[in-house]
Structures are given as C-alpha cells and as structure tokens.
Amino acid sequence: MRTRPGLLIPGVVLGLGLTVAALAGFRDTAFQTTITRPIATGLEPDQASQDKTLHSSASSPILPFRSDQPKTAAGRRYPVVPTNPQTAATLLAAVEMALRDPSTPDQDLPDLGHQQQVIYRVLSADIRRSQLVLAALPERWRSVAERHLAARREFLRMSRGRRPTRLPAWRIIQPEPADRLLQHYRKAEAATGIEWEVLAAVNLVETGMGRIDGISVANAQGPMQFLPTTWAESGIGEGNIRDPHDAIQAAARYLVRRGGLRDIRQGLWGYNNSDYYGKAVLLYASLMKEDPMAYRGLYHWEIHFNADAGDLWLPIGYNQPERITVTEYLRLNPASAAPN
C-alpha cells in the first residue's frame, strides 16, 4: 500500500520484592530520580533522611534521570537507561509490572511507557548489553523483552543504517484516549475478523497510535497511513482518512482484501511490502494477545527519530511545517537529544 515507514522504527516495586536498597545502582551521582507517592523503602529513618534522591510510589518504580538533563516545554525528560545490566533489568521488570498494575496512577503511565520504550530502543542496538540484561531479568519478563527487542531489530533492518541529517515536516499531537482507540480496534475486529491486537500494532508502528500528523514521502496520510488512491478503492475508505475511527475500520477492511483472514502475514505484506514489517507488527500483537494490559505501555510510547545525531525524541508539540536540520532543531530543543 505504501513505502516502508521512516519513523518507528518507530510492576510494582513491592510485588517484585524490591526496595530502594535493591536499586542502589541509581546512587551514581549522575542520577537523581522522580518523586511520586512515598512508600516504605526498607531504609531506617535516619538513612532515608540522608538520601533524598531515592523515592518511589506504591505502584510505580523509580525512574532515573541525569541531574543536568534539560526538560521539554511540558517539563518532561528523555528517559535514562542504567549502564549496569542488573540495575537495568531491575528497572525494566518494575516498569513492566507497573504498566500492567491497575493501581498505577494514570499520571505515571506516560513516563513509564516512555521509559519502557527507550530501554528497548537502547538495548536493541547493543546485542551484548541486551544479552546481559535479559539474563538478569526475572523469567516472567524474559520472553516479553525478547519479543520487544526482536520487533525493534526488524525495523532497524528496514532502515539499513540510514541516519538522516534533517527532521520531517510533521506535527506531533496528542492521540485519542487509549480506551477510545481500543473501542475502534475492537469494532473493526467484530466487523472484519482482523484481530484488534494486529490493528493496534499497525497503528503503533505507522504513527505512534496517531501522534504523527503528517504526510509521508510516499503521500501516505492519516493515523493508519493510507495512500489516497487506496483509500478511494471501493469498499476500503469511508469517511475521513485522517479520522482515527474511520482509518482503523478502513485498515481492517484493507487487510481482509489483501488476504489477512487467510494469512495475516499476507495481509500485512499488502500493507507494507516488507517481511521485516510484518514480523515486527506480529511480535507487538503477540504481546497484547498474551496480556491485553501490554497495550497500556505501547499506547504511551513516544515518537523517536533515528537521526545522525542519535535517537531523537520528538515530543508532543513538535511542529515543523518544513523540514529542519537536526543541528538546528537540537539547538532549539536540547531536551530531544538522547542522554544514553
């Protein structure tokens, strides 16, 4: 339907038996941590009073950041990935747990999802480091992490080492609420038989579930990146190509037309002529099939762009009517630079 995408490619502490002491790897002076609702830390009161940089909430783990990191206009920082494999594994397990815990406060989810995403992006580019972290993960999360890493590496293969020096003319916008998108996916599944998890995964890798508001180099448009000619085919596009509901329903119909009910891999090949693409989408879908709560993390993934200056974060509010050089953008928006 279109050329391959240029973008995405793109917990609770107590439940894990962890305390602040178990996260001692974060005591490096380069790091401080977010402060959320305090819980018992396992430290004596006098110890806790001497170490005011380590905090957690009842259902959210510690998230590290560098004390010299700049913030975005919204006051957020680019997530940091600990260099110590055991510390990184401890953090990743706690994040995965928190994202699935219904008691995790809604306001914690964006930073938790972004932390999860950045951990996998960093590890996917470093085989040896990822092996050490996988070995240190609790068994419960090992398969989850392996599939995340495998999916990301499929997109790295698609990019073939390209690292652009200019950023795209996009707007990054707030997506529709997670529950509303889920209703759209499930409605499309009921109408066509294409599983909602596959539709969510396609939406994720195409536009970060609707965060990218822009037109691709191939003229693909909207949250599901349809070519206008494909949208105009009889029985495919109905309504507005840029509307999440309409685009998701159309994507399901298109996957059916391309043979997705017989073999979803065939349908995905019709959506994007790449085996790498199909493998990655199905890996993400498998995570949601195994545990629908995995959707909460993926929904909160941010937009990243693999540029010559590294893995740049393009937060909500990015608005470039014309392409801009990476150098100029980072001069104006230093918080988008990767600290890892």
Low-confidence ranges of the chain (pLDDT < 50): 2-56
CB 157 within 8 A of CB 186: no
The per-residue DSSP string of 27-74 comes to GSTTEEE---S----SS-HHHHHH-TT----SS----EEETT----TT
Query: Token pair of 281, please?
Result: 């989408």
So what's the pLDDT on residue 45?
29
Q: Would you report the helix, strand and coil content of the chain in percent, each value rounded to 5?
A: 50, 10, 45
Query: Token pair of 300, please?
Result: 């909160």
Give the whole-angstrom CA distance, residue 85 versus residue 122. 12
Rounded to 10°, the helix 109-124/139-159 angle is 70
Nearest to 26 by CA among 84, 71, 72, 106: 84
Q: Report the Cα–Cα distance between both ends of the chain, in Å, rounded.
A: 35
pTM: 0.84
C-alpha triplet 223, 172, 194: angle, nearest 5°: 20
So what's the pLDDT on residue 19?
28
Q: CA 213, 149, 277, 192 torsion: positive or negative?
A: negative
Give the whole-angstrom CA distance, residue 340 versus residue 118. 9
So what's the pLDDT on residue 214?
86
Query: Token pair of 128, please?
Result: 């040896």
So what's the pLDDT on residue 155?
95
Rounded to 10°, the helix 109-124/85-100 angle is 140
Could you tell me which CATH number the domain at 171-299 has?
A: 1.10.530.10
Structural domain boundaries in the chain: 171-299
So what's the pLDDT on residue 156?
94
**Which tens digit of pLDDT belongs to each residue from 11-64?**
222 222 222 223 333 333 333 333 333 322 222 222 222 222 223 455 688 899
